[in-house]
Chain A
């Protein structure tokens, strides 16, 4: 595994941007839940297309993904093993992105079966963030998996 200093900083910056985005979205969803449950007369704090107002655990999950993306600060100092946080962040982002897309399609199908016509809900912000995370995922995974082939051979045993 041999990222150049420039590549390390680029990966770190991209990861941090994604981390802050996930954290912000998670916080907004959490605040929406708090308002919906404890201040119902006030209504949701933020009404954006696709932003849920009653998904507490989805909000917390987004914040966890954000934290994972924010962790690899060591990449700025070329601590290359911290690319691990980027890898796991992309796994979590992909997992939720795919699941939310499948859930939207399932809801549309349920609506069709109930006679309400095919209505696909506006994608959640996490789906868009998943799409934005794809270039980072592609680059970091290709580097790590490709690096296994470029790794120097295991050190020779001492003695015979």
Chain B
């Protein structure tokens, strides 16, 4: 049953089960045999082992998602590279060839390589959900989440946020209390979605050397930590969130063997949101990125001289604000386009640095130090959510005020933490 301050809800539930218990003890003789669900709950809901088992299964989910999907992503990348080469060789007009090869193929391809891990992540989450385990995870973590200002049911949206923040925010519909739901919506964008992963992998690989792996995973831990910290901060400082806490009352379903059909359906429902985003917002954004990087056409010599482009003009205008973080205009432009979709940060970096994907890590290593590189990763984790996420926040809260609040606090927090990283890093080196 739920934990926390006894409220009317809890009282009613307790009285109801007390009555059931009294009736059962009078009419049923002997011990009810233990079911498989009873046995498994003994371990999954164990006071000591419950949480470590949850984190172990979460790790299994990540390993499955990212390592098993790698060759599928490689195949997609090979296909789009081949298409881009075909376009360059066969389209006579240099401008159209550049649009198709560098704008469409390179741009959209760099996004679609993440379709396999996203779909596998949603498949893994569907397995955990359909077997009945996720409800147990919510119950076990409620004890911890409650102390941190959140709610057991906030777990599932936050887990979905590892794939994409959009379905994560939509999943907050399962939370009954409006205050708890809004709080979960506000902190969900801090959970590191899969769109940010290519940025971490690129930058960590370029500047962190043998610490690249820990650098990438630290972003996930930092994201969760920040989500919990901000939930606690909002709950303790904002009058809207103060007041009676809703305790978690949850009926644990029986453990069941999931069907392949339902797993695939769940995977498809959530994954298709990403594909739609790739096909619309990201595709459109990459065309804009291509245009800004290659025009004026004559001044940039068809995109060869990036410093003469509209993109460079935009980046230089914003560069002074980011100089304290050690970001030059090219990094700033990549972050700016990351507002549209985080997936295009890597491709934008390739465009502004004027290098192919294979040489991008080397180019990044010349622009960023290990400290500023880590600060860039932290900034990418936290700053304003992408357009699609902002749209989801607006549609779920129906409030421009809360949407703007999400955007502004994200930007301020990102700048502050990135600055702290730079300062601490400078002191340590």
Q: Which residues of B contact A113 (CB under 8 A)?
A: 71, 74-75, 78
Q: Which residues of B contact A107 (CB under 8 A)?
A: 67, 70
Q: Which chain A residues border B114 with CB–CB below 8 Å?
A: none
Q: Check A3 for interface membership: any CB of B closer than 8 A.
A: no
Q: Assuming A106-B71, A155-B28, is B44 touching A37 (CB within 8 A)?
A: no
A118 CB to nearest B CB, Å: 11
Binds A, one of B55-63, B144-152, B391-399: B55-63
Interface contact B74-A88, CB-CB below 8 Å? no
Do A1 and B53 contact each other (CB < 8 Å), given the known contacts A56-B214, A83-B39, A107-B67?
Answer: no
The reply to whether B56 and A155 form a contact with Cβ atoms under 8 Å apart is no
Q: Is A49 at the interface (CB under 8 A from chain B)?
A: no
Contact B67 A106 (CB under 8 A): yes
The answer to the question of B355 belonging to the interface, with a C-beta cut-off of 8 Å to chain A, is no
A87 in contact (CB, < 8 A): yes
Give the shortest distance, in Å, between B196 (CB) and chain A (any CB). 19
B67 touching A103, Cβ below 8 Å: yes
Question: Quick one: given A113-B74, A155-B30, A158-B27, are A103 and B39 in contact (CB under 8 Å)?
Answer: no
> Which residues does chain A contribute within 8 Å of B32, judged by CB atoms?
154
Query: Given A92, A96, A145, which contacts B53 in the complex, CB threshold below 8 Å?
Result: A92
Known contacts A157-B27, A158-B27; is A84 also within 8 Å of B210 by CB?
no
A129: CB under 8 A from chain B?
A: no
Q: Which residues of A contact B42 (CB under 8 A)?
A: 81, 84-85
Contact A81 B49 (CB under 8 A): no
Say whether, besides A67-B49, A151-B33, A102 and B64 are in contact (CB < 8 Å). yes
CB within 8 Å of A: which of B23-57?
Answer: 26-30, 32-36, 38-40, 42-44, 49, 52-53, 55-57
A122 vs B256: C-alpha distance in the bound complex, in angstroms? Answer: 35
How long is the Cα–Cα vector from A88 to B40 in the complex, in angstroms? 7
**Interface: B322 (CB within 8 A):** no
Enumerate chain B residues within 8 angstroms of A6, measured Cβ to Cβ. Answer: none
Whether B262 sits at the interface, judged by CB under 8 Å, is: no
Q: Is the CB of A106 within 8 A of B59?
A: no
Contact of A102 among B68, B213, B214 (CB under 8 A): B68
- For the complex, is B96 an interface residue (Cβ under 8 Å from A)? no
Contacts of A76 in B (CB 8 A): none
Roughly how many angstroms separate A85 CA and B45 CA in the complex, as a whole number?
12
- Known contacts A67-B52, A110-B71; is A155 also within 8 Å of B39 by CB? no
Within 8 Å by CB of A106, from B38, B56, B70, lies B70
- Do A37 and B56 have beta carbons less than 8 Å apart? no
Q: Which of A71, A99, A114 contacts B63 (CB 8 A)?
A: A99
Q: Does B268 contact A (CB under 8 A)?
A: no
Contact, CB under 8 Å: A61 / B56: yes
Closest CB of chain B to A149's CB: distance in Å?
11
Q: Which chain A positions have C-beta within 8 A of B43? A: 68, 71, 84-85, 87-88
Residues of B within 8 A of A103 (CB): 63, 67-68
List, in ascending order, chain A residues with CB within 8 A of B217's CB: 56-57
Nearest residue, chain B, Cβ from A145? B36
Q: Is the C-beta of B405 less than 8 angstroms from some C-beta in chain A?
A: no
Q: Is the CB of A87 within 8 A of B39?
A: yes
Give the Cβ gap from B258 to chain A, nearest Cβ, in Å.
Answer: 14
Contact across chains for A96 and B60 when beta carbons are under 8 A apart: yes
Against B, the Cβ 8 Å flags (1 = close, 0 = not) of A96-114 are 1001101100110110011
B240 at the interface (CB under 8 A from A): no
Q: List 20 A-B contacts (CB under 8 A).
A: A1-B34, A37-B211, A56-B217, A60-B56, A61-B60, A81-B39, A81-B42, A85-B42, A85-B43, A88-B53, A92-B53, A95-B57, A99-B63, A99-B67, A102-B68, A106-B69, A110-B71, A152-B33, A156-B29, A158-B27
- A71-B49, A155-B28 given; 11 more Cβ-contact pairs under 8 Å: A64-B52, A83-B39, A87-B39, A92-B56, A96-B60, A99-B60, A103-B68, A106-B68, A113-B74, A155-B29, A156-B29
On A, residues with C-beta under 8 Å from B are 1, 36-37, 40, 54, 56-58, 60-61, 64-65, 67-68, 71, 81, 83-85, 87-88, 92, 95-96, 99-100, 102-103, 106-107, 109-110, 113-114, 144-145, 148, 151-152, 154-159
